[in-house]
């Protein structure tokens, strides 16, 4: 698993797939509902996603979701993490109703488990914002981005890369609604954060 995670971090997704596939065979030796099976399936699904093998990723996420709900309960943050990933997957396929259902469920679990100002909440808020942008619901997306930005800034400071990535999404939204001056200012801020990080 550690070797597979290193491959994921290095974006060597094909190698990660091979490693996690081998790990899955070993994990299944502990039984179909072993927690290790769920964790390995989740990592394998991420390796598939990295290669844009979305059809292969979804059933792995769904099997992991079933196991985690059984072993850890339907309200566990690990369940929310998989729901979040499934939401992103369905958004990328253009399956917006399903994506919104998954993401809203993930957000609800995370807010109850961690509170409304946790970085995991910000991640799902950003994903929901991206979904609403894809649907053309720009006015709905804007406050989601703003809330996510506020959470990341409070948790990590104003110069964190997570802030820069969220700014990127917000900039895209602002340009779509012709708030070009504000978009330019935020893009400059995102670029400055990246430049500062690269210089460290």
**Tens of pLDDT along 105-132?**
999 999 999 999 999 999 999 999 999 9
DSSP letter assigned to residue 93: T
Q: How confident is the model at residue 199 (pLDDT cuts 50, 70, 90)?
A: confident
Instruction: Decide: pTM greater than 0.85.
Output: yes
According to the model, what pLDDT value does residue 40 have? 96
pLDDT at 200 over 90: no
């Amino acid at each position: 698993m550690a070797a597979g995670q290193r491959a994921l971090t290095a974006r060597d997704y094909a190698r990660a797939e091979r490693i996690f596939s081998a790990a899955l065979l070993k994990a299944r030796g502990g039984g179909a509902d072993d927690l290790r099976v769920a964790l390995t399936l989740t990592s394998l699904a991420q390796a598939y996603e990295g290669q844009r093998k979305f059809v292969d990723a979804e059933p792995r996420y769904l099997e992991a979701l079933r196991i985690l709900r059984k072993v850890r309960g339907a309200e566990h943050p690990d369940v929310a993490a998989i729901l979040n990933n499934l939401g992103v997957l369905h958004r990328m396929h253009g399956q917006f109703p399903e994506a919104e259902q998954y993401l809203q469920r993930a957000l609800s679990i995370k807010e109850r488990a961690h509170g409304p100002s946790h970085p995991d909440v910000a991640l799902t808020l950003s994903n929901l914002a991206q979904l609403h942008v894809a649907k053309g619901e720009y006015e709905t997306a804007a406050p989601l981005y703003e809330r996510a930005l506020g959470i990341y800034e409070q948790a990590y400071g104003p110069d964190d890369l997570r802030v820069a990535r969220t700014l990127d999404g917000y900039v895209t939204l602002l340009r779509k609604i012709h708030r070009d001056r504000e978009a330019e200012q935020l893009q400059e801020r995102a670029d400055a954060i990246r430049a500062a990080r690269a210089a460290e």
